[in-house]
Amino acid sequence: MKKPYLETMPDEKGYFGEYGGSFLPPPLEKPFQKIRKAYDELSRSSDFLDELRYIRKHFQGRPTPISFAKNLSRYCAGANIYLKREDLNHMGAHKLNHTMAEALLAKKLGIKKLIAETGAGQHGVALATAAAYFGLECEIHMGEVDIQKERPNVIRMQILGAKVVPATHGLKTLKEAVDSAFEAYMSDPDQQLFCIGSVVGPHPYPKMIRDFQSIVGFEAKQQFKQIAKVDLPDMVTACIGGGSNAMGIFSGFIDDDVKLYGVEPMGKGENIGEHSASLSYGTAGVMHGFNSIMLKDKDGEPAPVHSIGSGIDYPSVGPEHAYLHKIGRTKIGLCSDDEAIDAFYKLSKLEGIIPALESAHAVAFAMRYAKQNKGENILINLSGRGDKDIDFVVTNYPPQILS
Ligand SMILES: *Cc1c(COP(=O)(O)O)cnc(C)c1O
């Protein structure tokens, strides 16, 4: 019998085919070795898994349900659309699935301080939540420009007890926040855990974060049978930033005859700086400690990117997505800013569910797909709720009905 995919990938060096691996400055080799070893042991320890199960059930509110989007299905006049409701997680997105587990790992390692960078602040808030739960210190690095732009998330982090450190050099956005957080981490790698926010970074993070998110796919597979009265969906889709929510739901269906579509943000157009469709327009390269497909500028540095979904404007993609796409197991869907806005309003009005703008990308793609694939059963991973986006949307794309 063939071994399940999840048990065979990545290899022991963290490679998914040619992608992944670990490209670290020498002083970080040792601390990362320690993390790899600890995770390897803990992932097989029933103590660790029991504690995680407890947290998911009694703090996060798992399992999250699957909802049948009957009005949206009727509107698309084609396929049946189902939603895996990660928006119903505590704090409103899938991110707690991995930040709670990372904080638990820190606790098991006897580490008292969590450190990370954040772009729009979503990862920072999710990590600050986990730190508060476990009584750990939390330091979040954020570009000064982003701090001005994303004030509500800055305040949330501070209320949750995290220290927000501004990155004041260069363009003062995500790239500088990564540098700043890495520098702070390097100063004392034994007493701090660097908590990466997606299936990216050096080994073991892409595997570890996928494993933590795989609960989404495992639940969905069981639930789908019950609600849809068929064994499997025909197609499963999710938006891709770094790719953690997509890997989460794909994990449940990767060995099955199910089409898997990751949706990339086309933003405002095809030129560099207008989108963040890394797999569609990128080339091979090493960035942030791993080998993958990435968008580069003419000097080979990470290119400027854009999406209205502030959690999916990342110039690379998790190495596992690069691999699965290369071997043809997954396909890419595309969605522009305007299509995401349309899906944001449609899902809200038709189903009473306000999606995060990131998640709206997957909804928009599924709507297009549904019209072209009559009779199919589609499962969307609704990665988060849209409360955080309401101000932005009504200011920049006012709905006619509210005027
Ligand atoms: C952060 C975020 C994403 C993007 O992250 P992935 O690692 O690609 O899943 C998607 N949706 C929501 C709601 C988010 O907060």
Q: Which two tokens stand for residue 136?
A: 């750990």
The pLDDT value recorded for residue 401 is 59
CB 334 within 8 A of CB 277: yes
User: From CA 318, how far away is CA 329, in angstroms rounded?
Assistant: 15
User: How far does the centroid of ligand 1 lie from the alpha carbon of residue 190, in Å?
Assistant: 29
Handedness of CA 295, 296, 301, 307 (dihedral sign): negative
User: How crowded is residue 29: how many other Cβ atoms within 10 Å of its Cβ?
Assistant: 12
Report the relative pairing of strands 283-287 and 290-294 from DSSP bridges.
Answer: antiparallel
Reference 384, options 332, 336, 347; nearest CA is 347
Q: Is 316 in the pocket of ligand 1 (CB under 6 A)?
A: no
The DSSP-derived string for 137-152 is EEEEEEEHHHHHHTHH
Domain ranges in the chain? 16-57+95-205, 61-93+214-401
Half-sphere exposure of residue 104, counting CA atoms within 13 Å on the CB side? 23
Coil, strand or helix: which one is 247?
helix
The pLDDT value recorded for residue 176 is 87
User: How far does the centroid of ligand 1 lie from the alpha carbon of residue 1, in Å?
Assistant: 35
Element (H, E) at 236: strand 235-239
The pLDDT value recorded for residue 403 is 45
Coil, strand or helix: which one is 234?
coil
The pLDDT value recorded for residue 43 is 94
Instruction: Tell me which of 87, 91, 198, 237 to substitute to probe ligand 1's pocket, judged by most ligand atoms within 8 Å of the beta carbon.
Output: 198
Same CATH topology for 16-57+95-205 and 61-93+214-401: the answer is: yes
Q: Is 95 a catalytic residue?
A: yes
User: How far does the centroid of ligand 1 lie from the alpha carbon of residue 308, in Å?
Assistant: 12
The DSSP-derived string for 163-183 is EEEEE-STT-SHHHHHHHHHH
Q: Is 45 a catalytic residue?
A: no
Cβ burial 256-288 (10 Å sphere, 16+ → b, else e): eebbbbbbbbbbeeeebebbbbbbbbbeeeebb
The pLDDT value recorded for residue 23 is 97
pLDDT in tens, the chain (403 residues): 789 999 999 999 999 999 999 999 999 999 999 999 999 999 999 999 999 999 999 999 999 999 999 999 999 998 999 999 999 999 999 999 999 999 999 999 999 999 999 988 999 999 999 999 999 999 999 999 999 988 999 999 999 999 999 999 988 888 889 889 989 999 999 999 999 999 999 999 999 999 999 999 999 999 999 999 999 999 999 999 999 999 999 999 999 999 999 999 999 999 999 999 999 999 999 988 999 999 999 888 889 999 999 899 999 999 999 999 999 999 999 999 999 999 999 999 999 999 999 999 999 999 999 999 999 999 999 999 999 999 999 999 998 755 4
Q: Is 276 in the pocket of ligand 1 (CB under 6 A)?
A: no
CB 292 within 8 A of CB 316: yes
The pLDDT value recorded for residue 380 is 99
Q: What is the DSSP letter of 385?
A: B
- Taking only Cα atoms into account, the Rg of the chain, rounded to an integer number of angstroms, comes to 20
User: How far does the centroid of ligand 1 lie from the alpha carbon of residue 77, in Å?
Assistant: 29
User: From CA 190, how far away is CA 213, in angstroms rounded?
Assistant: 26
Instruction: Tell me which of 358, 365, 385, 392 to substitute to probe ligand 1's pocket, judged by most ligand atoms within 8 Å of the beta carbon.
Output: 358
AA identity, residue 381: N
User: How far does the centroid of ligand 1 lie from the alpha carbon of residue 86, in Å?
Assistant: 11
Catalytic residue (choose from 180, 278, 359, 383): 383
User: From CA 360, how far away is CA 380, in angstroms rounded?
Assistant: 10
Coil, strand or helix: which one is 186?
helix
Q: Is CATH 2.160.10.10 what the domain over 61-93+214-401 is classified as, yes or no?
A: no
pTM for the full model?
A: 0.97
Q: Is 121 in the pocket of ligand 1 (CB under 6 A)?
A: no
Catalytic residue (choose from 117, 139, 176, 264): 117
Reference 310, options 384, 241, 390, 387; nearest CA is 241
Q: Is 336 in the pocket of ligand 1 (CB under 6 A)?
A: no
User: How far does the centroid of ligand 1 lie from the alpha carbon of residue 6, in Å?
Assistant: 21
- Which fold does the domain 16-57+95-205 belong to in CATH? Rossmann fold (3.40.50)
Peptide bond connecting 202 to the previous residue in cis, omega within 30 degrees of 0: no
Q: Is 174 in the pocket of ligand 1 (CB under 6 A)?
A: no
